[in-house]
Amino acid sequence: MAAAKALELPSLYFYPRKTVIYRKYGKKPQSLVAVALVFLLTLVFGLFLIRIYLKTVPEENQTVDEVLNMSVLWMAPFLSGSGYGTEALSFIQGLHKHISNLSIYHFGDIVEEDYVASLSEDTQQLLKQLWASNETLPRYFIKRQYEDEELARKIDTRRRMFPDGSIIKEPILRQLHDVVIVQSIPRGWEPYLFDTAKYRVGRTVFETDRLPDEWAAHCNYQVDEVWVPTEFNVQTFSGSGVKRDRLQILPQTVDTETFSNPRVTPRPRPKECLDSDFIFLSVFRWGGRKGTEFLLEAFLREFSPEDSACLAILTATHKMKTNASYYHGLIHQFANDLGITPAIRPRIAVLEPSISNQDMPGLYAMANAFVLVSRGEGWGRPYTEAMMMNVPVIATNWSAHTEFITSETGYLVAVEKLDLYPSDDEEMSNYWGHLLARPSICHLRQTMRYVKDHPKDAKRRAANAKQMISTRFNQDAVTRTLLGHLKRIKANLTKEKVETMLAFRAQQIVAEGFV
């Protein structure tokens, strides 16, 4: 059973269109010997195909050499270093060679000077090269950028009025873009951003079982389609009322270069961990959604100082400068509350939150396993990074990351139930009334123990994971998906359709009282 499952994996992940080959030959054989023989030949042939496929993808697939004659404006918090911002940057790094007119602009978050300075010379150069000129931006946007703060605040109302008194009645035809993509939460998709768009795309994500208020309306009316990273998001968005036919999947890219360098030097073990310890690494934002208390309780209860196990945590708190000793204090308190005294406590190390992005591969390389029982993810980037680094991953069996973490590529922890997010968390009021997974502490304990005690199995799953992640989510693969969407959109942008669309939108703006 397990063996059969293991073999299904490559056909599923590596070359979906060729799965048929497997199936066709796999079903015909008359005798056991024939079954075995065909099986073996198929396997060899399969591996051969995988090699060819992996090697020839760029030549084989026309789209990668192709340049689409299209004008695309992409607005995202490029200079903020936020999740949306870094994701947007990885998209345009793949896309810019394949679009004749691609321009970008910072939108939706503050500019983090330190982050910008930390970008490589090449990346900074690319940002400059693609940076939108005044001619390619919506007029209102330009005004808003340049007027003084006081004035900007005044005009930032539902009335789309410029400081000079003129009013937006219709899209301002400066340079009309085929597509304007805005990457932010849907509440940020204000009509003025799309003034110069023939076609409007929103890129977003959410991590609970439904959407916050108003999100569905923004998805349905402020853009023509929405790009989300996984099928999980398609389900939760459509379940919350977003029209199914405007949802498209665009996965995140995984930085296969940074996270696969075999010569990366593992970070030295934290001083709290012994040389013989099996290191469980976890990387998360402190607090409710990431299942912090489930992880701590499971580790504290399952292991003792006599076990050669150590939990290494890299964490941070939203918009709060903190340090390792602060979290040590919180963990100490948590353990005390469970009645687990320092004498019987397993080793837990908290890393200083100041670790830079460049040090992340070394951090994963230090770990024997990665564990994060998140209560809900819209994608799950740390998982993909650990997987690229050949580290076995343990994750909750619910939400977006189950699209790539399966029992063949990692370890899934059973979900006790979906329950309400506590409404005393002011910061996360977006989650109030939403359901998130409650991972089973009991199963998490068993799973951590199992992974520690079965290095061979863990290694096998980690190898599968790396292969799968690097094949499905490398930059070329995701760029092809992205180009596919843009081509589909372009094919549908006939002159009449565009005129109808713009006329309809101008009406909508008037009807909704923006003027």
Ligand X SMILES: *[C@@H]1O[C@H](CO)[C@@H](O)[C@H](O)[C@H]1NC(C)=O
Please give the residue ranges that form the binding site for ligand X (CB under 6 A): 69, 71, 100-101, 134, 142, 146, 322-323, 325-326, 397, 407, 412, 414, 488, 492, 497
Closer residue to ligand X, CB minimum distance, 409 or 467: 409
Report the alpha-carbon distance of residue 103 to residue 133 in Å, rounded.
8
Strands in 197-203's sheet, in edge-to-edge order, are 99-106, 68-76, 177-183, 197-203, 225-228, 247-249
Report the alpha-carbon distance of residue 504 to residue 506 in Å, rounded.
6
CA distances from 393 to 155, 364, 413, 463 (A): 49, 11, 11, 11
Residue 314 burial (10 A CB sphere; 0-12, 13-18, 19+): buried
Closer residue to ligand X, CB minimum distance, 187 or 246: 246
- Determine how many CB atoms are found less than 10 A away from the CB of residue 44: 10
Closer residue to ligand X, CB minimum distance, 146 or 450: 146
CB of 310 to ligand X, least distance (A): 22
- Angle in degrees, CA 294, 300, 302, rounded to 5: 95
CB of 224 to ligand X, least distance (A): 8
Nearest residue by C-beta to ligand X?
71
Closer residue to ligand X, CB minimum distance, 45 or 326: 326
Closer residue to ligand X, CB minimum distance, 58 or 329: 329
CB of 33 to ligand X, least distance (A): 34
CB of 277 to ligand X, least distance (A): 25
CB of 477 to ligand X, least distance (A): 22
CB of 513 to ligand X, least distance (A): 26
Closer residue to ligand X, CB minimum distance, 98 or 256: 98
Q: 3-state SS of the chain: helix, strand, coil percent to 5? A: 50, 15, 35
CA distances from 479 to 64, 109, 141 (A): 8, 25, 28
Report the alpha-carbon distance of residue 381 to residue 176 in Å, rounded.
35
Closer residue to ligand X, CB minimum distance, 263 or 321: 321
CB of 489 to ligand X, least distance (A): 7
Report the alpha-carbon distance of residue 415 to residue 412 in Å, rounded.
9
Three-state SS for 258-319 is: CCCCCCCCCCCCCCCCCCCCEEEEEEEECCCCCCHHHHHHHHHHHCCCCCCEEEEEEEEECC
CB of 418 to ligand X, least distance (A): 10
CB of 145 to ligand X, least distance (A): 7
- Angle in degrees, CA 315, 317, 323, rounded to 5: 65
Closer residue to ligand X, CB minimum distance, 329 or 422: 329
CB of 443 to ligand X, least distance (A): 8
Closer residue to ligand X, CB minimum distance, 126 or 264: 126
Residues forming beta bridges with residue 417, ordered by sequence position: 438
Instruction: Produce one character per residue of 209-218: b if its CB has 16 or more CB atoms within 10 Å, e if not.
Output: bbbbeebbeb
Stretch (H or E) spanning 58: helix 32-60
CB of 337 to ligand X, least distance (A): 20
Closer residue to ligand X, CB minimum distance, 274 or 442: 442
Closer residue to ligand X, CB minimum distance, 169 or 488: 488
Report the alpha-carbon distance of residue 179 to residue 200 in Å, rounded.
6
